[in-house]
Amino acid sequence: MKGYEIIAPIVRPPLCLALRLREACRNATSRVNPRLILLTAHPRSGTTAVAALLAKHCGLRAFTQTGRWTLADKEIVASRLTMEEVITRNRYAFSFDIMSAADAGCFLPAMKAALPEMRIIVLVRDPRDMVCSVIERINDYDVSSAEINDPDYRYLQTDWLGITEEDPLKKLALRWNKWLETAKSVDGVVYRRYEDFLRNKPDFIAALADELGLPARHDISDDMNRQMSKHGRDVPIRGAGRWRRMLPAEHARAIEDICKDGMLAFGYTAEKPTAADAVPGH
Domain spans, the chain: 5-265
Model pLDDT, residue 27: 87
Quote the radius of gyration of the chain (alpha carbons, Å): 18
CA 213 vs CA 158, 210, 233: distances in Å: 37, 5, 31
Task: Note the pLDDT tens digit of each residue in 32-60.
Answer: 999 999 999 998 899 999 999 999 999 99
Ranges 20-34, 45-59, 80-94, 261-275, most confident: 45-59
pTM for this model (two decimals) = 0.81
Residue 145 confidence (pLDDT): 63
Give the model's confidence band at 136: pLDDT under 50 very low, under 70 low, under 90 confident, else very high: confident
At the topology level of CATH, where does 5-265 sit?
Rossmann fold (3.40.50)
Write the DSSP string, 40-92: E-SSSSSHHHHHHHHHHHHT--EE--GGG--B-HHHHHTTSS-HHHHHHHTTT
